[in-house]
Structure 1
Amino acid sequence: MAIITVSNVTKSYGIDIILQNISFIVNEGDKIGVIGENGAGKSTLFNLLAGFTEVDSGTISISANKIGYLQQNTVIESEKSIYEEVKTVFDEIFQLEKQIKSLEEKISQTKDPHLLDKLFLEYSFLTDKYNELDGYSVESKIRGVLNGLGFDVSQFDTPVSTLSGGQKTRLMLAKTLLLSPDVLLLDEPTNHLDINSIEWLEQYLKFYNGTILIISHDRYFLDKIVTRIFEIENTHLSVYEGNYTEYLKRKKLEMEAKLKAYEEQQKEIKRIKSIIQIQKNRRTEKSVKMAESKQKLLEKMEIIEKPVINNKSINLRFDFDLESGNDVLTVKNLSLRFDRQIFSNVSFEIKKGEKIALLGPNGIGKSSLLKILVGEIDNFEGEIKFGTNVITGYYEQEFKSLNAEKTVIDEIWDENPYLTQTEVRTLLASFLFREEDVFKTISTLSGGEKARLSLLKLILSKANFLLMDEPTNHLDLKAKEVLEEALLDYTGTLLFVSHDRYFIDKIATKVMILTPQGVEVYLGNYSYYIEKKNQLNEEEETIKKTKTQIKNERYKERLAKLKLKQQKEYLKNLENSIYQAEERIKYLEEKMCDAKIYKTGEIVEIQKEYNALKSKLEEMYEEWENLSG
């Protein structure tokens, strides 16, 4: 059943057409990935679906009761703590809880039966509603989602106002998920998550009971979740069945088929034009008529447009003039502390040509480690030694090295005054800053534009040792692929932080996991690291199981010994009970020989006891035989 229907929608900003006559249907339960280059109109589409902006023409019909929308640059301004802020999602439930508690107090203090009936009726109504809203599971839901998105219990009381931009985005994602809307619109939800949180989110969304549309440049993430792809390209929207990998295959086949159809038609047009020319040259009445006939055929032909292969991408090549020595970096016993210990005893070596992924959960100090290496943090303990002729180049994820007040052209030219204006503009054009774009102030640039400018600065540094912090964060899929190829071709040394598993898998030759106590090193790419990690987990599980089995066996042995001891004691007590019963029966038999008890009627009670004891004694004999046999 359709939950979203979009028909012939067009949206422009000024003279720029963003979306043109797009149409699609989203069914209940669909999980859709929305892809396209930066600026293609993906966020515009989400703003239209969320009702944040209006269409120029066409219609959008949505039959959802609740829509949850996570925008890419959401900022929460709140004086509440993390936990209290998330609780606002369930205001109705917590208000009900207060009402129920208030009623319970009234009921405990009321003695009037008529008023009690009224209060109990209201209490029953409120508790039914509370159960219907699943009120009893709210606290565990909040804790589960916050933990899954990387918020530790110790952080729950942290004021929202003290959080970083990335943490606020994660908090907004938590609120959006807990809202449990019929339709989830998620714009780059993985941007500020570490790998553990991304994997948690994948599982959460995979089993989410509603409809999901996701804008993402994370290829692994899209592959795990979505079953359809919406591609926005050149103002139009195309629909592809399957995940991102399937989309790539279908897109390739589609382009090949379109190109083949175009080329075949061009051959046919050329052939017909040749026939027309030949017939015209013959100058006979018959040949002229044939030429006219063929001309009409050409005019009626529906011309196939040449497929547009979009080559609008950055031109990346990392190079350097000076070769470094084989030993690029040696780190010994590095420790960092701010208001708490971040990490300690970090030691590792980096050799020339290695491409190392530095991984670990958010807050473990990955970015801080890079900043120590480039000299931006100096309050550390330990030893850092760079090798011979090592020239570092640093790409930071927050773009603080860019001067917000400068223009794009000045940012490059001021640091590279030996270049001519033509050379600077040519370089900027290769990074998609063309014509008037070069005079844009950096403060007005998008995240993607700042990323491109930072990459150009990194290339111009001619560094033979690159340190990159989340280099794929603001890049579209095509730009990511270009960056991947450039780094694969780079013959220098690379240390990078990333949460993009596809990127890590393709680039890394070694994986370093940063922990509070040091680093764990895995030789190989991300897939190898995961394989080894799973293997270690299995081994630990086996050891744990073995330990548990040994523990259980020992427990059983102790229990058996205890049972044997108890059994002997029980048998001894049973024998004593048998002896006492036998003695009592002897006494009763002697009693029954006395004529007096028949006169007084005492015989009735004695006979009852005697029969009961005889029956009980038979049972005890049988039990004794079983236990002692």
Structure 2
Amino acid sequence: MIVARELTVAVGARTLLEPTSFQIASGDRIGLVGRNGAGKTTLTKILAGEGQAAGGQVTRTGLIGYLPQDARVGDLTQLARDRILSARGLDSILKRLDTYTQAIADAATDDEQEDALRRYARAEAELDAAGGYAAESEAARICANLGLPDRVLTQEIATLSGGQRRRVELARILFSGADVLLLDEPTNHLDHDSIVWLRGYLATYPGGIMVISHDTGLLDAVVNKVFHLDAMRSEMDLYNLDWKKYLVQRETDEKRRKRERANAEKKAGRLLEQAAKLGAKATKATAAQNMAKRAEKMLAATEGERAADRVAKIRFPGPAPCGRVPLTASELSKNYGSLEVFTGVDLAIDRGANVVVLGFNGAGKTTLLRILAGIETPDTGEVVPGHGLKLGYYAQEHETIDGARSVLDNMVSASPNLDDTQVRKILGSFLFTGDDVDKPARVLSGGEKTRLALAMLVVSAANVLLLDEPTNNLDPASRREVLEAIRTYAGATILVTHDPGAVEALQPDRVLLLPDGDEDLWSADYADLITLA
């Protein structure tokens, strides 16, 4: 169980959540919702014990399983299967059993063999206490349903794609059997079948759950409570309702607030009129000032409420002039150790062409984009820039953002030809205003990092965009803006996505299938591969 008492959440001088009390108990399946940047990820980190609250107290009892947006893995040399089994300590027990089995076989004397047998028996008792071989089978079932085959489980973490690593971490947390699960966008990088399975798994999970997700299908199937974090009011509205009933009640609440705002604006207007009349009389000056202050306070509150409806205005740049074929790649291959990711990939990107890259997780889609962007080097083949090539790269893990630098500094580095005022104006259109621009990028939520990365693309004047899952971590309104930006961009685009809406917006000319490197004209026949990939 997690109990929060008078919990206050802040980033720097900005308060995200005024003192609030709530709990996550067994059987609670809570959907934590709110606009990007409202503080959902920050709040979840605090509940998990990985962040510091500005005030109040968090009490945790039992095991807490936490899946952050940016899944972190400590030992990159660890096998994926061992990483998952480590959630219950099974990995070390199984290793000791293997060691003692070998010691029994290699024993030179009866005493050595007897000592090895005693050690084996103790380790086997530990294994039984941790669930035995049935627990190992349970882990295997979770992995299979999350699309982690044996060939992936026997690889080192370092050799896995970002999507595979995240699914390993999700499998580890689900296998832990934690008393409370804190899941931040758990469906990222999952295919359709895995998402359907996850919905069923979480809907019957015996412990408590708090989940952040823009997948409304998951929220509808799983949650029995909704916590709405309101960015402008810095308050959390607690709804003891399932998803559908919450949507109805929320709409009713928003209509009531709009009426209240309209009434406040009318009252403020009347106060300002009266203050203007009284201000003309010296004897009434103090009363006039007080009325004006009350009116300004009312208007400031209503302005804040209106700002809640704002969405970043995202439009990709008009492309810089370039040759007929701005980007070419030939005979690209990439291996990680003995693992062959892809081989013999050829690609010629014509000016203004749209290409979607499809393939199962681990097929090398992200790796290919990183090679085209010049971040990774192919084992064979080469990437040849054409005349006037100007690349813009959106990385799904936001590697193009320097977490140690501020939002403003990141933008300045992406747009050296713009002055400070121009940069701040563009950041404002992406909802970074005031002190927000001075925040270090590492404290941004996933949605805020997405907005910053997109803002950096907007100032790039790129004529070829490499987009890797650009709609991840976005609320519905921001996602619509990104889809419209993709739809209207006049340059060439190479897109990797699990989002059918993004492919529809792109209207691709061609499809590249990995790992085989087969290229074909786009047709609706490939649409089913988008969510399966």
Within 5 A, what are the aligned runs for 1:244-283?
251-263=250-262
Q: How does 1:221-620 map to 2 (within 5 A)?
A: 221-234=218-231, 235-240=234-239, 241-243=241-243, 251-263=250-262, 306=302, 308-309=305-306, 310-311=308-309, 313-320=311-318, 334-338=331-335, 339=337, 340-344=339-343, 356-374=355-373, 379=378, 392-401=391-400, 409=408, 411-413=410-412, 416-435=415-434, 438=437, 450-473=449-472, 475=474, 478-499=477-498, 501=499, 503-504=501-502, 507-510=505-508, 512=511, 514-519=513-518, 523=522, 529-530=527-528
Q: Distance in 1 between matches of 2:450 and 2:504?
A: 20
In the other structure, the counterpart of 1:34 is 32
Matches within 5 A, 1:79-98: 80-91=78-89
Match of 1:211 among 208, 212, 215: 208
d(CA) in 2 for partners of 1:146, 1:402? 32
Cα gap change, 1:350 to 1:251, in 2 (>3 Å) = farther
Matched, 1:183 2:171: no
Relative distance call for 1:431 and 1:25 in structure 2 (3 A) is same
Quote the Cα distance in structure 1 between the aligned partners of 2:18 and 2:464: 45
Deviations 1:205-250 (A, max 9, x none): 344343321123445544554344322123211235443x876665
Give the structure-1-normalised TM-score.
Answer: 0.60
Q: For the Cα contact (< 8 Å) 2:24–2:180, is it kept in 1?
A: no
1:489 Cα deviation from its structure 2 partner: 3.4
How far 1:40 sits from its partner (Å)?
2.8
Unaligned runs of 5+ in 1: 106-122, 277-301, 535-629
Distance 2:400 2:267 in 1: 57
**Matched residue pairs, number?**
481
Amino acid at match of 1:32: I
Whether the 8 Å CA contact 1:86–1:174 is kept in 2: the answer is yes
For 1:297, the equivalent position in structure 2 comes to none
For the residues of structure 1 that align with 2:530 and 2:396, how far apart are their CA atoms? 29
What is the identity, as a one-letter code, of the residue corresponding to 1:239?
L
Kindly provide the CA deviation profile for residues 498-537 of structure 1, in whole angstroms up to 9, marking residues without a partner as x: 23x36536634348463333447685679x8239999xxx
Q: Judging changes above 3 Å, is the alpha-carbon distance between structure 1 residues 222 and 346 closer, same or farther for their aligned structure 2 residues?
A: farther
Task: Work out the CA distance in 1 between the residues paired with 2:220 and 2:175.
Answer: 24
Give me the whole-angstrom Cα distance separating, in 2, the residues matched to 1:366 and 1:171: 18
Richer in helix (by share): 1
Alignment partner, residue 20 of structure 2: 22
Shift of 1:179: 1.5
Contact 1:472 1:480 in 2 (8 A): yes
CA distance in 1 between counterparts of 2:79 and 2:370 reads: 30
What is the rounded CA distance, in whole Å, between the counterparts of 2:394 and 2:153 in structure 1? 32
**Alignment correspondent of 2:287:** none
Distance change >3 Å, CA 529–CA 479, structure 1 → 2: same
1:267 positional shift: 6.2
In structure 1, distance between residues paired with 2:416 and 2:53: 47
Decide whether the 8 Å contact of 1:35 with 1:42 is kept in 2.
yes
* Contact 1:335–1:342 (Cα < 8 Å) also in 2: no
Q: 2 CA distance for matches of 1:323 and 1:94?
A: 58
Q: Distance in 2 between matches of 1:93 and 1:388?
A: 53
Find the aligned partners of 1:91 and 1:77 in 2 and give their Cα distance: 16
SS of residue matched to 2:314: coil
CA pair 231-423 structure 1, distance change in 2 beyond 3 A: same
Aligned-residue CA RMSD (Å): 5.2
> Contact 1:505 / 1:525 at 8 angstroms: preserved in 2?
no
Answer yes or no: is the 8 Å Cα contact 1:316–1:486 preserved in 2.
yes
Distance between the aligned counterparts of 1:478 and 1:415, measured in 2?
Answer: 25
2 CA distance for matches of 1:27 and 1:408?
Answer: 37
Higher RCO (CA 8 Å, separation ≥ 6 residues): 2
Q: Give the structure 2 partner of residue 10 of structure 1.
A: 8
Identity %: 33
Distance 1:34 1:503, change over 3 A: farther
TM-fit CA distance, 1:259: 1.6
Q: 1:350 to 1:246 in 2, by over 3 A?
A: farther
Match of 2:281 in 1: none
Whether the aligned pair in 2 keeps the contact of 1:182 and 1:210 (CA below 8 Å) is yes
1:77-156 pair list within 5 angstroms? 77-78=74-75, 80-91=78-89, 135-156=132-153
CA distance in 1 between counterparts of 2:477 and 2:428 reads 17
Tell me how far 1:360 sits from its aligned partner: 2.1
Residue segments in structure 2 that go unaligned for 5+ positions in a row: 105-120, 275-297
Q: Supply the distance in 1 between the matched residues of 2:137 and 2:469 (Cα, whole angstroms).
A: 32
Q: Secondary structure at the match of 2:424?
A: helix
Give the counterpart of 2:67 among 67, 70, 75: 70
> In structure 2, the residue corresponding to 1:77 is in which secondary structure?
coil
Q: Secondary structure at the match of 1:308?
A: helix
Deviation at residue 378 of structure 1 after TM alignment: 6.2
Instruction: Give the CA deviation at 1:17.
Output: 3.1
**Structure 1 residue 177 displacement after superposition:** 0.7
Question: CA 1:84–1:269 in 2, change beyond 3 Å: closer, same or farther?
Answer: closer
* TM-score between both structures, scaled by the size of structure 2: 0.69
Once residues 326 and 201 of structure 1 are traced to their aligned partners in structure 2, the CA distance between those partners, rounded to angstroms, is 46
Query: Which protein shows a greater Rg?
Result: 1
- The structure-2 alpha-carbon separation of the partners of 1:314 and 1:180, relative to structure 1 and needing over 3 Å to count, comes to same
Amino acid at match of 1:488: R
- In 1, are the aligned partners of 2:407 and 2:441 still within 8 Å (CA)? yes
Gap change, CA 1:467 and 1:321, over 3 Å in 2:
closer
Q: Give the secondary-structure state (helix, strand or coil) at the position aligned to 2:369.
A: helix
Q: How far apart, in 2, do the equivalents of 1:217 and 1:271 lie?
A: 42
Structure 2 residue 38 is matched with structure 1 residue 46: no
2:505 is aligned with what amino acid?
I
More divergent stretch after superposition (4-13 vs 357-366): 4-13
User: Displacement, 1:398?
Assistant: 4.4
d(CA) in 1 for partners of 2:131, 2:36: 41
